Amino acid sequence: MSTLDEVATLELPFKPPLDWPRLLRFFGGRATPGVEAVEDGAYRRAIDWAGDSGTLSVRLHPRKRCLVASIEGPASRHADALATPIAKMFDLHADPKKIGAGLAADPWLAPLVEAVPGLRVPGAWSGFELVVRAIAGQQVSVKAATTIIGRLVQRAGERIDGHPHENTAWRFPTPAALAAVDLAQIGMPGKRVAALQGFAHAVATGDVPVDSSTADADSLRAALLALPGIGPWTVEYVAMRAWRDADAWPAWDLVLMQSICARDPALQRPAQQRMRTDAWRPWRAYAAMHLWNEVADRAGAARGG
């Protein structure tokens, strides 16, 4: 059987509603050039699993309440094991009615939940990739961060020979490769480069098991925060997306701070906003998505997060 003949298909159910266009918009706006792409209504990326490589494509089923994940190549033999991380990445275990009911009790959030009842918290294929992106994205726009991440892939990633999809023909750099590569003139300040490579080294040596399925979020938060150049915003953003903490809250996010201040000018700083945002527990990650999404909808762009 040739590689191209190896295809496995999974149907991954979800509780409706699911806002697929906004999930795709979020992933598309942050897709790592060469590694992942959103095209033709599907999310696609190169993957490696248990030593086998392949291409993952995920799209919405035209009739059923499920996503359809296709895995091409040798990685297709691990389809059963891949069902869980794919469902996690697309937040398919969320109960939107329960979450919506919790958030709609707040007059600020009620109209946002009503407008977009199926909003999900987009996950990440890899916590390591997400932290790299978050560090590269500090103090710059989403678009600028994407450009820098594309350069990192070119310098430290690996091109996949004979890969059938040009837009996903690269492997994201491994922690060891990223820790060792020369990042001069990459477009980041020296301190941020040091933070990025310090983090990559900590993951490569096992000190920060960012993609461990057994480590708890609190110990991972502490380990990440202890690294130079990584602050609370990065840690909470990663907790939201990679560790699936539904109550994570990136309090120092500029867009979130502005959104809250616009509603109550007396609440300018995270410390002042805390009482208000605590009311959104245990769903603060979804509240963050709704506030970010409101800005993205208004701008017609991939702002927020």
End-to-end Cα, the chain, rounded Å: 42
Whether residue 106 lies in the annotated active site: no
- Reading the block at residue 137, the tokens are 């994205």
Residue whose entry in the numeric block shows the structure tokens 């970010």: 292
Distance of alpha carbon 301 from alpha carbon 305, whole angstroms: 12
Distance of alpha carbon 91 from alpha carbon 84, whole angstroms: 10
Q: Are 44 and 37 in contact (CB under 8 A)?
A: yes
Choose among 36, 40, 37: nearest CA to 60.
40
Spatial neighbors of 90 by CB under 8 A, at least 6 apart, are 12, 14, 23, 58, 67, 120, 122, 123
Q: Are 157 and 36 in contact (CB under 8 A)?
A: no
Spatial neighbors of 251 by CB under 8 A, at least 6 apart, are 232, 233, 236, 257, 270, 273, 274, 277
91, 253, 264, 278: the catalytic one is: 253
Catalytic residue positions, numbered: 253
